[in-house]
Amino acid sequence: MSENKMGKYFKYAIGEILLVMVGILLALQVNNWNEQRKDRIKEQVVLKQLQEDYQGNLIQLEEKMATRDNIVLSAIKLLKAFDQPIEVIRDSLVKDIANTFHDPTYDPIQNDLTSSGNLILISNHKLKRLLSNWSSDVVGVQEIEVTWSKTVNGEFRLILAELGLGRDVSHSFMNDSKHLWLLDNNEDLYKIEIGTSKLAAPLDEILTNRKLEAMLGSAITLNKAANLQSEALRNRIQEILDLIEAEIKE
């Protein structure tokens, strides 16, 4: 009888333990599900912010690319003026030099996903990888930009000073050039009357300046290269935006 009771008690104890274990496992599962639900809510917030950031990055990149296209086109026109100086209009020449004197630099919105730990919230592995590599993707464009910016503010500026074109180019830059980087797009607020110089070199001296001609070649090469890099970057941004859109739950 005693042994029979002990067996029943033993089975009862095992059953109690199993019930407790099942209860714990269910509680853990519910807690895990709840945490996952919270993470998915946080992920949606992060995705929508990323969508806004990368849409802004795309707009800015395309504006820089348009500016570089204008630099290249103006530089090509100037080289044609060097080759065929007959009937070249001085004002148009100065305007093209001013357009070439731009140094667009891409400064995208930098997300802090990695440092903040929010990158782990992104469930799409491909999107997570692209976001993680974003900074290195931008470097290729920025390296070329830095080279051209240093050239513009160094050697190019000196050439213009030697030719006495600094004032003329500044006047055209402020009043005739397109400035896509202006935040409010109100170019009239940027305009200021500087006037032209009476000390500038004559047209034939400008169009026989070897340093200026070489500078125009550099303008075409560097800005074309930057735009080729930017084209790849634009595709990357679009890929990121497509993945984000697919992950956002309306």
Which region holds residue 192: left if phi is over 0, alpha if psi is between -120 and 50, else beta?
A: beta
Cα 213 to Cα 211: distance, rounded to the nearest angstrom = 5
Q: How confident is the model at residue 1 (pLDDT cuts 50, 70, 90)?
A: very low
The H or E element spanning position 159 is: helix 157-162
**Confidence (pLDDT) at 89:** 93
pLDDT mean over 50-64: 94
140: three-class secondary structure by DSSP: helix
Cα-Cα-Cα-Cα torsion 19, 21, 22, 24, nearest 10 degrees, comes to: 120
- pTM of the predicted protein model: 0.81
Distance of alpha carbon 110 from alpha carbon 50, whole angstroms:
10
Instruction: Establish how many alpha carbons lie within 13 A of residue 188's alpha carbon, considering only the half-sphere containing its beta carbon.
Output: 0
Least confident of 20-34, 105-119, 188-202: 20-34
Residue 185: per-residue pLDDT: 57
> What ranges do the domains of the chain cover?
46-247
**What sign for the dihedral angle of Cα 154, 158, 160, 161?**
positive
User: 36-45, 61-70, 116-125, 192-201: which range is least confident on average?
Assistant: 36-45
Inter-residue contact 165 to 201 (CB < 8 Å): yes
